Amino acid sequence: MKTTTTPALPVESGYSTVNGLDLYYEIYGDGMPLVLIHGGGSTIQSNFSKVIPLFARSRRVIAVELQAHGRTGDRDADLSFEQDADDVAALLGNLEVDKADVLGFSNGGTTALQLAIRHPEMVHKLILCSALAKRSGVPDQFWGFMDHASLDNMPEALKTAYLEVAPDAGGLQTMHDRDAKRMVHFQDIPDQHIEAIKAPALIIIGDRDVITPDHALELHRQLSGSRLAILPGGHGEYLGEITTLTPEFRESDLAVPMIEKFLSGKE
């Protein structure tokens, strides 16, 4: 039987000034903070609309839209995962959140890694969903595709999601170009930085993901005491990411119970 959760309404939303940027955020529910960090080309809703109502039953969910994405504007600087991590940390400081669990998907997973590296005191537990730490973590053809990336090749669902919320439709090209440039110039996160992370981590990928199983296993070995799950499905299907949704979508296929078990310490 298919089940559908009613979309959640934020209890708080708005902008917070962080490092010279007005960063958009939404807060749902109450409880231990859980930060959601979206992937490249995405918005809060395109990545997380299916899981937010479930997490918000027992958590204070803090979802952000990073530089040039969704409702957040651009700054006159290229994107970097380090800067995104610093922006999330500054937002948490503004919200008076000293420590939180952090879930990052795709590029957001790489940002979550940088948050744990650069601001370890703020991260309680990490959920790394299809996160990339090394160039070898995706097939070689991925980098060839990124070298020739164009807005025409961006999934229509992501374009629509951006245009539904962005104050300036012209920002779509900026978002695409900044994301593509960051990936073209992506550099491996040094092993010693990853191995220094002390926060307990749950690593999740799909068995038909962009991220390779070998990369997920390597990350699992580098993060002491981490857990690893390889689930059926594609890139973000286990979160209900918008480009993976089909008429056969079932809420019961989401990884939320596994994540909640890990966060509660009962994994």
> Is 5 within a domain?
no
Q: pLDDT tens, 41-89?
A: 999 999 999 999 999 999 999 999 999 999 999 999 999 999 999 999 9
Tell me how far apart the alpha carbons of residues 179 and 217 are, in angstroms, rounded to a whole number. 26
What is the separation of C-alpha 166 from the centre of its chain, rounded to a whole number of angstroms? Answer: 19
> Is 1 within a domain?
no
Residue 33 has pLDDT above 60, yes or no: yes
pLDDT band at 30, cuts 50/70/90? very high
CATH classification at residue 31: 3.40.50.1820
> Is 10 within a domain?
no
pLDDT band at 249, cuts 50/70/90? very high
> Is 4 within a domain?
no
- What is the pLDDT, as a whole number, of residue 6? 62
Three-point CA angle 125, 33, 133, nearest 5°:
40
> Is 82 within a domain?
yes
> Is 3 within a domain?
no
Q: pLDDT tens, 184-204?
A: 999 999 999 999 999 999 999
pTM of the entire predicted model:
0.96
> Is 55 within a domain?
yes
pLDDT band at 266, cuts 50/70/90? low
Tell me how far apart the alpha carbons of residues 179 and 200 are, in angstroms, rounded to a whole number. 28
Please give the structure tokens belonging to residue 230: 């390889």
Number of domain units in the chain: 1
CA atoms within 13 A on the CB side of 102: 34
Tell me how far apart the alpha carbons of residues 52 and 152 are, in angstroms, rounded to a whole number. 30
Domain range for 244: 15-264
CB 133 within 8 Å of CB 215: yes
- What is the pLDDT, as a whole number, of residue 3? 46
CB 214 within 8 Å of CB 224: no
- What is the pLDDT, as a whole number, of residue 5? 57
> Is 54 within a domain?
yes
Residue 4 has pLDDT above 60, yes or no: no
